[in-house]
Chains A and B, each alone.
Chain A
Amino acid sequence: MTAATEQLAPSAPAVEENRAKRNLLPYFLLAPGVLWLVIFFLIPIITAVSASVQTGSLDEGFSLTWRWANYSDMFSTYNAEIVHSMIYSVACTVLCLALGYPLAYFIAFRGGRWKNLLMALVIAPAFTSFLIRTIAWETILSDHGWVTRVLVDTKATNVMVDLGLITNNHQLLNTPFSVVFGMVYNFLPFTVLPLYTSLEKIDPRLHEAGADLYGSGYKTWRYVTWPLSLPGVIAGTLLTFIPAVGDYINAYMLGSPNTQVIGQVIENEALRDQFGYPTASAMGVVLTAGTLLVVMLYVRKAGTEDLL
């Protein structure tokens, strides 16, 4: 091909120049994206990793001393917060799936002409700021709010105490329950949207085929609908889990010092402790790497790389 072009073209240098331009074009097009990633992703990561093994203070400045003990110190000091983050985000993801799947299923298969409206309603809360909505829940769930009063009056809070959801029978706020509740509320649309998309794509005739081939309602769901909706399940749970691990607004607004999560620790260490910079960085690195690891194992386990 190259030889033929050179033979045929009388003005070889012009062609040569043209080709050179064409070969560079993809790089020009890529440049803004690459630059963006370098400045806002690669450099911060390197900075964070390097900061995590430094020592010093805000007044005297930090220097790179390769103090890996920052990591072990951080683990021993904040293991409770790490455990909280993991438990809350897993609980949030599982609850979002449990609530979101039936919801998405209903909208996709029973929604009829209301489908789009119903999906708009699922997304509608996002038009208000995340922060404001969480503050609103703080008010709704407060000790003197009607929700708490009704639950206390009906003795439902006693059951919740027995289940370990709350710590005393007259308060919903400042408990793991309220933190996870807020997270589920805030992240539910992230689960529902991809689920709805993959459920909606399923041909309803496949359900009829399942029923025709001796599949009861449950069996047809288990062997036809569920496997076909797996891409949505995986996408939805990832989109929920990843931000949920790092979330600290819900724990901050709806929780107490007993429900602190990694995000809060990072904030405290980085902004309020003059020696805390390296610790905050170490936690950030662990959070990122840990999330990545969990996601990789999950996708591997689901065996659905080709589904995504």
Chain B
Amino acid sequence: MTNLDAGGDLRLVGLTKRFGAFTAVDNLDLTIPQGSFFALLGASGCGKTTTLRMVSGLEDPTAGRIYLGDADVTDTKPYKRPVNTVFQNYALFPHLDIFENVAFGLRRRGVKDVKKAVEDILALVELGHLAKRKPTQLSGGQQQRVAVARALINQPQVLLLDEPLGALDLKLRRQMQIELKRIQTEVGLTFVHVTHDQEEAMTMADTIAVMNAGGIEQMGSPEELYENPATTFVANFLGQSNLVAGSISGKDGDTVTVEAHGSRIALPAARSRVESGAAIIGVRPEKVHLVHGGQDAPAGHNVFTGGVVTDASFIGVSTQYLVKMPWGEELAVFEQNAGQEIFRPGSEVSLHWDPSQTFGLDGSQDIEAGAEIDDEAAA
């Protein structure tokens, strides 16, 4: 059995993988603390799955080292690593029943009496009654839980999950997200979860690393990434952002002022990634409120005037607006349906929000980075 007590941080040092001329993973440094639920989030082709496969040993890195605790496992064969994977389409053995699928890892390591362990783990994933079935006789969600049980029973130091919920429908996915989180809390193992679904990553993970083009764009807790994205890519990929280009006009104590399309936008200095020059200001759609074109916004708020509503979708808890600004950009606004007026397309409106909800990014970046990818992933 693997030794759970050994300091089991997973460390990737300078990890690189090239396929011919294509660099899938580029000089990646990453430490994943033992016992955490860690998500690698990114669009397809960003290198997240390749990273996972290198950790499991199914892919050899071109350069760099992989450490599990103090042990260098870079050159260890996959079947000798205390790491198990929940594969994307589960890869359950079709010729074995559920019991034997789950017992596979133990049997291959020569464990004689597997009955108790298998029954316990099947109970954990609530599938004890299906032990004699074949994988094809199970639903997608059940197969997924078998895949988790088959990996977990080996008590790996790290459990790798490769888009484990991708094949499930939305409702089942939600249910399994909660289930996986519960299992992780219960067993206390390190989970490394690869996904392109930002909501899934945010729901489950303690720490998210957003990957882009083979490297890590930003890493932190879900709240941190959402509220304080470091780059336009993260701002656009994780949730939705209104990003407006401008330039820094002054700094007064804790407040930075940005000139953007004739408006003076204030934001907390702590949330600004730049000190001077070109900047991009950002605000999340749900922080923004609308008033009629002529009306005044609350004092002290940041304001953009002269907007025209181009689209209003009523979705129950909120109404989502697209507002076309005089400089041509369309900004998104999510208003809670708490009794205020619902604006029709064509209405002239002003946007306003609390300056503390504003973040500032380096103005030299592509303002649309990550935006299209998110649409693709959501589709």
A residues in contact (CB < 8 Å) with B = 203, 205-206, 208-216, 219-220, 223-224, 227-228
Closest to A215 in B: B108
Closest to A213 in B: B105
Asked if A206 and B108 make an inter-chain contact with CB atoms under 8 angstroms apart, the answer reads: no
Q: Once the chains are docked, how many angstroms separate the CA of A227 from the CA of B96?
A: 9
Asked if B108 and A213 make an inter-chain contact with CB atoms under 8 angstroms apart, the answer reads: yes
B residues in contact (CB < 8 Å) with A = 56-58, 77-80, 83-85, 87, 89, 91-95, 104-105, 107-109, 150-151, 154
22 contacts between A and B (CB under 8 A): A205-B89, A205-B91, A206-B91, A209-B93, A210-B93, A210-B104, A212-B57, A212-B79, A212-B83, A212-B84, A212-B85, A213-B84, A213-B105, A213-B150, A213-B154, A214-B108, A215-B104, A215-B108, A216-B77, A216-B79, A219-B79, A228-B95
Asked if B104 and A213 make an inter-chain contact with CB atoms under 8 angstroms apart, the answer reads: yes
Which residue from B91, B107, B154 sits with its C-beta under 8 Å from A209? B91
Asked if A205 and B87 make an inter-chain contact with CB atoms under 8 angstroms apart, the answer reads: yes
Asked if A227 and B105 make an inter-chain contact with CB atoms under 8 angstroms apart, the answer reads: no
Across the interface, which residues of B come within 8 angstroms of A224, CB to CB? 93
Asked if B95 and A203 make an inter-chain contact with CB atoms under 8 angstroms apart, the answer reads: no
Asked if A208 and B79 make an inter-chain contact with CB atoms under 8 angstroms apart, the answer reads: no
Closest to A207 in B: B91
Which residue from B87, B89, B95, B154 sits with its C-beta under 8 Å from A227? B95
Q: Once the chains are docked, how many angstroms separate the CA of A227 from the CA of B79?
A: 20
Which residue from A219, A227, A228 sits with its C-beta under 8 Å from B108? A219
Asked if B93 and A211 make an inter-chain contact with CB atoms under 8 angstroms apart, the answer reads: no
Which residue from B58, B95, B107, B109 sits with its C-beta under 8 Å from A211? B58
CB distance from B107 to the nearest CB of A (A): 8
Across the interface, which residues of A come within 8 angstroms of B78, CB to CB? 208, 211-212
Q: Once the chains are docked, how many angstroms separate the CA of A228 from the CA of B91?
A: 13
Asked if A208 and B154 make an inter-chain contact with CB atoms under 8 angstroms apart, the answer reads: no
Across the interface, which residues of B come within 8 angstroms of A219, CB to CB? 79, 108
Asked if B108 and A208 make an inter-chain contact with CB atoms under 8 angstroms apart, the answer reads: no
Asked if B89 and A211 make an inter-chain contact with CB atoms under 8 angstroms apart, the answer reads: no
If A205-B87, A208-B58, A208-B87 touch, whether A214 touches B105 (CB-CB below 8 Å) is yes
Across the interface, which residues of B come within 8 angstroms of A227, CB to CB? 95
Asked if B108 and A212 make an inter-chain contact with CB atoms under 8 angstroms apart, the answer reads: no
Which 8 pairs, one residue from A and one from B, show the smallest C-beta to C-beta distance? A213-B105, A209-B91, A214-B108, A205-B91, A211-B78, A215-B108, A227-B95, A212-B85
Which residue from B56, B104, B109 sits with its C-beta under 8 Å from A223? B104
Q: Once the chains are docked, how many angstroms separate the CA of A214 from the CA of B111?
A: 12
